[in-house]
Amino acid sequence: MKAFRSMFATLALGMCLLCEAASASTATSSPPPVPENGAYLGAWVYYDHNASKQGQVGPAAQLDVLEQDLGRRFDIGHAYYCFDGTNGCNGQLTGNAATNSDQQYGRMPLDSWSCSTTSGYTLGDIISGYQAWKLNPATPSPVIAYIIGQAKSVAAYGTTTYIRWAWEMLNHGANGDCVSSDGGAANYVAAWQAIYNLFHYYQANNAVFVWCPSAGNFNSSDGNPLNSPAAEYYPGNGYVDYVCADGYNDSGQTSTFATKFDNAYKFAMIVNSAGPMPFMVGETGDEAADPNQATWTSSFYADIKAGYPYVKAIVYFDSYNCKTQNDFTLGWPAGQVTVPPSLDAMRTIMKEGYFNPRGLSLFAPASQTMLDTFKPGCSG
């Protein structure tokens, strides 16, 4: 009799696991944190992509220094991750310098998680591995085991974590090349849905999924963003918490929020018949060489406040790349004793109640910019 009960319990447990795995395709999550009024502010900060000069002073420490210069903490700390963490690239979404700093200073992490991999995993591997997992969750494939590990780590982290997987999927580069060479839109959507379902099956309900093409990918010949190239890659309303777009004021441009992001924002307003989706600016900035950088910065945020109430997060790309000379930093040129106008403009923005919906404390900013410490020359 004991043997029969044991066998029955084992079968029941197995059936339960299979049922639960099958139901993961309809997993739901709690609503993402969306400020009722106003928008969160965030930043990615990284000066000098020349590793020999970077030393031990990484982005997390640099973000802390930018906040000291601005007189307030950001709501969101942005960081970048490889998909599987091979070849020395960080693939662990928690337990690293960035998320530890975010936890210490009360930020919500934004994890830009690349789909590119040096270990040979493909979108097809994610899709087939997920289908196999639904039939036998006890023995996941290596790529599904990796995703499950990240889901469990985010769940254990506890606080809101934005997941921006395979952003800018239509652009040439790590994510675009990964997607275009492996099934295009159909496989991208299926892989996204698999990752989303696994995160919520393993109780990572603090994960907020941010779908983020480039702003230009929402343009279409008929002016309807639902007919744009980006729309083909949309995973579906049930699998996206924030619609997002990346866009910059590049050299020689005088773009506004409307000219750069209007179609992306419109997509977020109309894609869900239940109502507008919250919108995030995932990356933005103006080149430091622009003499009007301070004016552009002030106007960009003012335009959002005045006319785009569903923009709920704006993440500045405060980065300087020695190799490419791309420079979108605030507070240049180096060695200034007075506060650079662009940095001063951002200080004003950080003080506005509209851009501080969590009521974060203000403090006296540094008397002069300390960012010069982390922005060395490129020689050598």
DSSP state string for 170-229: TSSSHHHHHHHTTTHHHHHHHHHHHHHHHHHHTT-TTEEEEE--BGGGG--TTS-GGGST
- List the catalytic residue out of 20, 36, 67, 283: 283
Which is higher by pLDDT, 321 or 363?
Answer: 363
- Specify the pLDDT at position 15: 38
- For residue 265, name the pLDDT band (cuts at 50, 70, 90): very high
Which is higher by pLDDT, 49 or 345?
Answer: 345
Inform me whether the pLDDT recorded for 118 exceeds 90.
Answer: no
Task: Write out pLDDT tens, residues 201-243.
Answer: 999 999 999 999 999 999 999 999 999 999 999 999 999 999 9
Which is higher by pLDDT, 243 or 26?
Answer: 243
* Least reliable range by pLDDT among 57-66, 233-242, 326-335, 356-365: 326-335
Task: Tokens for 101, please give them.
Answer: 């700093």
- Specify the pLDDT at position 12: 39
Inform me whether the pLDDT recorded for 367 exceeds 90.
Answer: no
Which residues on adjacent β-strands are paired with residue 310? none
Which is higher by pLDDT, 154 or 50?
Answer: 154
Q: For residue 276, give the amino acid letter.
A: P
Task: Write out pLDDT tens, residues 165-198.
Answer: 999 999 977 687 788 778 889 999 999 999 999 9
Q: How many CA atoms lie within 13 A of 12 on its CB side?
A: 6
Single pTM value for the model: 0.89
Interval 104-129 mean pLDDT: 89
- Specify the pLDDT at position 18: 40
Known active-site residue 283: yes
| C-alpha of 345 from chain center | 24
- Specify the pLDDT at position 180: 78
Domains of the chain: which residue ranges? Answer: 34-374
Task: Write out pLDDT tens, residues 77-103.
Answer: 999 998 877 656 788 999 999 999 999
- List the catalytic residue out of 20, 36, 168, 287: 168
What does the mean pLDDT of the chain come to?
84
Interval 297-315 mean pLDDT: 97
- Specify the pLDDT at position 87: 57
- What is the second-level CATH architecture of the domain 34-374? Alpha-Beta Barrel (3.20)
- For residue 28, name the pLDDT band (cuts at 50, 70, 90): very low
Which residues on adjacent β-strands are paired with residue 43? 77, 316
Interval 49-75 mean pLDDT: 75
Known active-site residue 168: yes
Task: Write out pLDDT tens, residues 339-362.
Answer: 788 989 999 999 999 999 999 999
Q: How many CA atoms lie within 13 A of 285 on its CB side?
A: 23
- Specify the pLDDT at position 172: 77
Q: CA nearest 17: which of 202, 206, 239?
A: 202
